[in-house]
């Protein structure tokens, strides 16, 4: 009886010690989780792949002779490949970058035509180039693209803000506060100015009138260039009439 009592007491003390050890280890894990270094459910991200979940698997076993045994083993749920997909889209470029690029390219594109009309107005290359309608078609498509990018839900309201469906200066100023809208308006002006300069140039060739100064003004001040050509045409005819009378 004494031996059995000692044996039972020794087994009880072993079980109590193991239980205390497990409880102490459990509290240690809790402190680690509160300290900012969680053990269970910790995720990580690697270069090119992402580890889904890292944790600790807890297995408990109990028997009368050995007492309670708790095993802690690391558990990794799995590695999932983390791939980034790229696609070409207009979002790579901001509206300001597109507006600046189109502004520069549009300005540089029309300069060769003015150069030919001013420096070599009677050359075959100049005549052939100015007879083509391709530049105006390209500029028109570019303008349509910029108009599409600059279009907003309130564009119509800003264009026809008055009760008589007429534009107002304040609303037009708000509309042109966008760089994209300004770029589209600039392409619009370049297209119209080049077309007007072409008309002045061809009319000068047909009536044998000097058009270099008027074409140059169309580049910077299109309405003034048109008025300059009209005045030049009137003065040229008067001089011709006076010469014919003197003869």
Q: What is the per-residue pLDDT across 21-63, written as a single tens digit (0 to 9) for each? A: 555 555 555 555 554 444 444 444 444 444 444 444 555 554 4
Whether residue 15 is contained in a domain is answered as: no
Q: What percent of the chain has pLDDT over 70?
A: 62
| Same domain, yes or no: 216 and 184 | yes
Do 105 and 175 fall into the same domain?
yes
Q: Are residues 200 and 222 in the same domain?
A: yes
b (16+ CB within 10 A) / e for 140-179: eebbeebbebbeeeeeeebeebeeeeeeeeebeeebeebb
Q: Are residues 203 and 241 in the same domain?
A: yes
Does pLDDT of 184 surpass 80?
yes
Structure letter (DSSP) for residue 92: G
**Among the three residues 52, 85, 118, which one is the final residue of a domain in this structure?**
85
81 and 94 belong to one structural domain: no
Say whether both 74 and 154 belong to one domain. no
Is residue 19 included in any domain, yes or no? no
The CA distances from residue 104 to 107, 143, 221, in Å, are 5, 14, 19
Residues 96 and 200 in one domain: yes
Q: Is 48 helix (H, G, I), strand (E, B) or coil?
A: coil
Residue 138 and residue 96 share a domain = yes
Average confidence (pLDDT) over 60-86 = 47
Residues 6+ apart with CB under 8 A from 161: 167, 168, 170, 171
pLDDT at 110: 95
Asked if residue 28 belongs to a domain, the reply is no
- CA proximity to 193, closest of 233, 222, 225, 229: 222
Residue 108 and residue 58 share a domain:
no
Structural domains in the chain (count): 2
Checking if the pLDDT of 6 tops 80, the result is no
Range of the domain at 215: 90-246
Residue 201 forms part of a structural domain? yes
Residue 23 in domain: no
pLDDT tens per residue, range 128-166: 999 999 999 999 999 999 989 888 888 888 888 777 788
Would you say residue 9 lies in a domain?
A: no
- CB burial of residue 99 (10 Å; 0-12, 13-18, 19+): buried
**Domain shared by 102 and 219, yes or no:** yes
Question: Do 156 and 48 belong together in one domain?
Answer: no
Report pTM.
0.60
Spatial neighbors of 184 by CB under 8 A, at least 6 apart, are 143, 146, 147, 149, 150
Q: Which pLDDT belongs to residue 174?
A: 85
Answer whether 126's CB lies under 8 Å from 120's CB.
yes
The answer to the question of residue 170 being in a domain is yes
Mean local confidence (pLDDT), 89-105: 76
In a domain? residue 10? no
**Mean pLDDT on 206-220:** 94
Q: pLDDT band at residue 65, thresholds of 50, 70 and 90?
A: very low
Do 212 and 97 reside in the same domain of the chain? Answer: yes
Domain boundary among 65, 85, 105: 85
């Amino acid at each position: 009886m004494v031996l059995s009592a000692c044996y039972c007491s020794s087994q009880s003390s072993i079980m109590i010690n193991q239980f205390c050890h497990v409880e102490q280890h459990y509290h240690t894990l809790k402190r680690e989780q509160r300290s900012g270094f969680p053990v269970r459910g910790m995720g990580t991200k690697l270069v090119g792949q992402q580890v889904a979940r890292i944790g600790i698997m807890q297995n408990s076993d109990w028997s009368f002779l050995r007492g309670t045994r708790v095993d802690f083993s690391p558990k990794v749920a799995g590695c999932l490949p983390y791939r980034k997909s790229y696609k070409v889209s207009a979002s790579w470029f901001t509206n300001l970058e597109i507006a600046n690029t189109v502004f520069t390219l549009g300005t540089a594109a029309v300069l060769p035509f003015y150069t030919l009309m001013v420096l070599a107005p009677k050359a075959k290359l100049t005549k052939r180039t100015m007879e083509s309608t391709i530049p105006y078609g390209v500029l028109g498509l570019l303008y349509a693209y910029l108009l599409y990018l600059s279009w907003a839900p309130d564009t119509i309201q800003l264009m026809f803000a008055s009760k008589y469906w007429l534009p107002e200066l304040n609303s037009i100023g708000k509309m042109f506060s966008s760089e994209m809208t300004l770029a589209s308006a600039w392409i619009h002006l370049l297209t119209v100015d080049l077309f007007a300069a072409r008309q002045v140039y061809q009319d000068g060739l047909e009536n044998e009138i000097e058009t270099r100064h008027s074409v140059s003004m169309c580049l910077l001040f299109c309405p003034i260039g048109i008025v300059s050509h009209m005045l030049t045409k009137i003065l040229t005819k008067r001089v011709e009439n006076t010469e014919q009378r003197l003869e």
